[in-house]
Amino acid sequence: MLLAQRTVIRTLLSEHRWISPIVLFIVVATVAGFLQWSQTVPDPDAFYHARIATLMRDQALTFPTLPHASATILADQFTDQHFLYHLILIPFVTFFDPLVGIKVLAILGTALVFTFFLFTLRHLRIPRPWFFVLLALVTEPFVFRMNLGKASALVVFLLIMTIIALLERRQKLLFVTSAVWTWTHGSFLMAPLLALIIVGVDFLRRRTTNEPRVSWWMIMTPFFAALIGVILGTMLNPYFPRNIAFIVEQSLLIPLSSPALTNAGGEWFPSTVEGLLGGATLLFLAFIFALPLFFMNKNSRDHWFLFFMTLFLLALTIRTRRTVEYLVLPMLLFIGTTIGTGQDVLVRIGNRLRRWLEQEPRLNWGLLLIVGGLILAVTIRDGSTLVKEYRSGISGTTLKNAATWLRKNSAQDAIVYHTSWDEWPMLFYWNTWNRYLVGLDPRFMSRKNQNAFQMWKDANEGKTPDALAAVIRDQFKASYVLAAKKNEKFIEQIKRFPDVFKKQYEDGEVTIFSVN
């Protein structure tokens, strides 16, 4: 009976190829919806994205500056690197509560990425496409990043489109994708970088094989298509020419700087072995299995490109853990292509394994239990980790009461001193009446004025108690101080200056002092 049911399902999915993408979309949307079904937000940046989208809807599509981050380079010259994502987000923050709308878009975006990946696997004729889709679905850091309420899903879609364009030599598609990417995320330089990889592979293969020689212009065509797309997209961006300086800062200078020096977000730090291999155990087991098979195959230019691209993205992920979202699906494309071209080797290995198991029947169940148990244990572990991470996120009402009090009791544009850069998105979401110091990334502050950043950092850490009043009042021109309750040392130092700082508000999260 069970075998008959499996046959019916397999026949149905093969004869009606549109059914499996629909099923996949529903399954992934259900999983993503379950993760998002809470009163918490997994990442503080979601507050920023939700508020920017509402400001674009209510005020203007572009903003020359972001005065709400008064001590950063953004206060002087702002570029919305997620412009296209925020445009897409506007209907969702209009028809839903903004924080709910950003979750709804994250759910739909995640489901669409997985569905598009299934179509990509089929388009590239990779065997057993569902296996690789499920492998992506049980890769915890990838699923986590897709659901953060950021532009991740849109960027991964553009990344896969770029790979398809490079594999199929579709220069017009590569040009368009590269241009659109510049409106979506600061990672758009990855398009010409990936094009350089395939150009290098093509050049080396023609130098070391009997393939016909062609002009260097023909070999370089993918790179030129991507580069021209990036240039044109940058010039057509509504923030041009201000976006040029921002590109230099956000895409080059800030990523190359050390996150440890400024206490930047954890996603900017290098990956740990435990974090990378532990969260993607099954993915890396499959990658390790595919590597010897790859070197046993007679590989085409495209296959070598997928190999070097995977190594490049792996190196980026080791350097900065946030780029794991760019690694997973391309690595699966490499694994799938390797297995697809190595069918003869796999058949020989399978035949030997079958003969060996026939001699030892008891090992069949043992091997099945070991492999099945490993997959089940890893899936349960990573699934529970995902749920825990989302349930222990930031409350959707964080700093709401304090920000509301400030809006009602302070002058417009009054500067609020705060001790943590990751408090800024919530303050910005609940209250655009006031100005704050630093948000999104502390390196935006250090890039504007390293001395001021160091004074702020030292004051927050209690290293300059005697100069605290001068730093807050004279250096940053603050009218209020918002101090988190957990920062007890800072609050005690504030109380040493009763003539300067007067307590005006207090709740379970923060204490607010006025500055005289």
Cβ(467)–Cβ(504) below 8 Å: no
Question: Taking Cα atoms as reference points, which of 161, 141, 134 lies closest to residue 28?
Answer: 134
Helix (H) or strand (E) holding 264: none
Residue 228: the pLDDT is 96
Q: pLDDT tens across 68-99, in order? A: 999 998 988 889 999 999 999 999 999 999 99
Residue 259 pLDDT level (bands cut at 50, 70, 90): low
DSSP 173-217: HHHHHHHHHHTT-GGGGHHHHHHHHHHHHHHHHHHHSSPPP--HH
Phi, psi (deg, nearest 5) at residue 147: -105, 15
Report the C-alpha gap between 270 and 293 in whole angstroms. 29
Q: pLDDT tens across 280-325, in order? A: 888 888 899 888 888 887 778 889 999 999 999 999 888 888 888 9
Q: pLDDT tens across 415-457, in order? A: 999 988 889 999 999 999 999 999 888 888 888 888 888 888 8
* Whether pLDDT at 195 is above 50: yes
Cα dihedral sign, 366-367-369-370:
positive
Cβ(376)–Cβ(401) below 8 Å: no
What is the overall mean pLDDT for the chain? 85
List CB contacts of 359: < 8 A, sequence separation 6 or more: none
| Structure letter (DSSP) for residue 261 | G
CA dihedral 140, 143, 145, 150 (to 10 degrees): -170
* Whether pLDDT at 371 is above 80: no
Report percent pLDDT > 90 for the chain: 43
Cβ(80)–Cβ(61) below 8 Å: no
Token pair recorded at residue 332 = 């699966």
Report the C-alpha gap between 142 and 392 in whole angstroms. 18
Cβ(443)–Cβ(258) below 8 Å: no
Token pair recorded at residue 434 = 């006031």
Cβ(195)–Cβ(248) below 8 Å: no
* Whether pLDDT at 272 is above 90: no
Mean pLDDT value of segment 136-145: 89
Residue 10: the pLDDT is 53
Cα dihedral sign, 104-108-113-114:
positive
